[in-house]
Amino acid sequence: MSILPHGTLEGVKVALLSDCFLPRLGGIEVQVADLAHHLQRAGHEVEVFTATGNGADRSTTPRDEQGIIVHRFDLGLPGGIPINPLAVPEVRRRLQGGGFDVAHVHMGVVSPFAVDAARTALGLGLPTAVTWHCVIDGSAPVHRALGYAARWAERGAALSAVSAMAADRVHRIVPPQTRVSVLPNGIDVARWRRPEGLADVPVPPLRIVAAQRMVRRKRPDALIDLLLRARELVPSGIALQAEVVGDGPAREGLVRRLEVDGVDWISLPGRVTRKQLRDLHWRSHVFVSAARLEAFGIAALEARTAGLALVVREGTGARDFVSMGLSGLLADTDDGLAEAVARLATRPTLLAKLQQHNRRVPPAEDWPIVVKSTVAEYRRAQQQATVR
């Protein structure tokens, strides 16, 4: 490994370690996979270590998966739960003999594999970066009591989180002098950006999109409630149409609820591909999210890049790329979110202002920029490991 004068690393060999990875679908899974590919395109060598399986084959032999070497340690638990405390010795052996320059550990709400991986990498003296993709909120006392994050900081790990809000929560469980960087998720701006020649979609109807997993933490019931409240606030002569895409255990119940109540302007089509979601954004006007514990908001960033006006909760990770009255509207309550949707339905000039800004000004989280920030974190990890 060589350190260039301007502070980047050349030819880094990176071990990305995460409980969750593709083919599971979720924010961490997709982001770790995208990071791996973009690091390689930037000239680095990447291997992924994960407790997520890949179907019925439970072999732990490293395999090339779409150009990335993946080490899978699937214990075969029901539902494919990515937990494997037995993997530690083999992970240690492979990290020690793999010629890695840095370990990059990715933390979720519950991440036993990642916790073991961080402890193992630091025990080997391997420069280690740790990124939290979650909100440490009510569980903060437990994290402080366990003390693993504080110990990592003391041993030289470079700590980060995906947003300023998430980083603030991490800072509360480590020594006060610890630096917790913001290392955002990335997006392929060119892929999501709305083509300049594409015709505007007329209003009405105001076309609303939400994209999320249908799980309680994402508050899909509250989302439906606020959409219905917005309908009450908007004059009947202005049509609304909403598509809430995504799948999960809550979806079936919501579909039944809408059918029983005779709500035909909200649809829940289930899971869609990235291309289908992008195309849906391009023919829509507004993206809305009711999530409160949103460490970042990848779906919101995709919508912002595609040129939609955003309606999201204040105090979430999305605050890093949503400016009130410029790229979107923020609110502290569900009623406030409903009122924001109603404002956009009834104030075409405001809607057009937000859309035009998001179409004209790309977000700062473009992958080439995020890769540079990530490599800077690797350099910080290397420097902190050298000091100790």
- Of 144, 149, 143, give the one whose Cα is nearest residue 122: 149
Quick check: helix, strand or coil at residue 293? coil
Full set of structural domains in the chain with CATH:
2-186+366-387 (3.40.50.2000), 189-360 (3.40.50.2000)
Euclidean distance between CA atoms 130 and 121, whole angstroms: 11
- Beta-carbon contacts of residue 337 (< 8 Å; ≥ 6 apart): 226, 288, 290, 311, 312, 313, 331
pLDDT tens-place string over residues 320-368: 999 999 999 999 999 999 999 999 999 999 999 999 999 999 999 999 9
- Of 206, 207, 212, give the one whose Cα is nearest residue 237: 206
pLDDT of residue 140: 81
pTM for the whole thing?
Answer: 0.93
What DSSP character marks residue 57?
A: B
Residues 90 and 84 sit within 8 Å (Cβ to Cβ) = no
Euclidean distance between CA atoms 375 and 380, whole angstroms: 9
pLDDT tens-place string over residues 222-253: 999 999 999 999 999 999 999 999 999 999 99
pLDDT of residue 57: 75
Bridge partner list, 128: 103
- Of 49, 42, 48, give the one whose Cα is nearest residue 11: 42
pLDDT of residue 7: 45
Q: Write down the residue that tokens 């809000």 correspond to.
A: 165
pLDDT of residue 6: 39
List, run by run, the mean pLDDT of 10-residue segments along the chain (388 residues): 48 96 90 97 97 84 96 88 93 98 95 96 98 89 88 97 97 96 98 94 96 95 98 97 97 97 97 96 98 95 98 97 97 98 98 98 97 97 85
- Beta-carbon contacts of residue 216 (< 8 Å; ≥ 6 apart): 250
What DSSP character marks residue 78?
A: G
For helices 334-346 and 348-360, give the axis angle rounded to 10 degrees.
100
- Of 290, 244, 286, 280, give the one whose Cα is nearest residue 265: 244
What DSSP character marks residue 366?
A: B
pLDDT of residue 387: 67
Residues 68 and 47 sit within 8 Å (Cβ to Cβ) = yes
What DSSP character marks residue 87?
A: G
pLDDT of residue 144: 86
Euclidean distance between CA atoms 118 and 171, whole angstroms: 18
Sign of CA dihedral 215, 218, 223, 226: positive
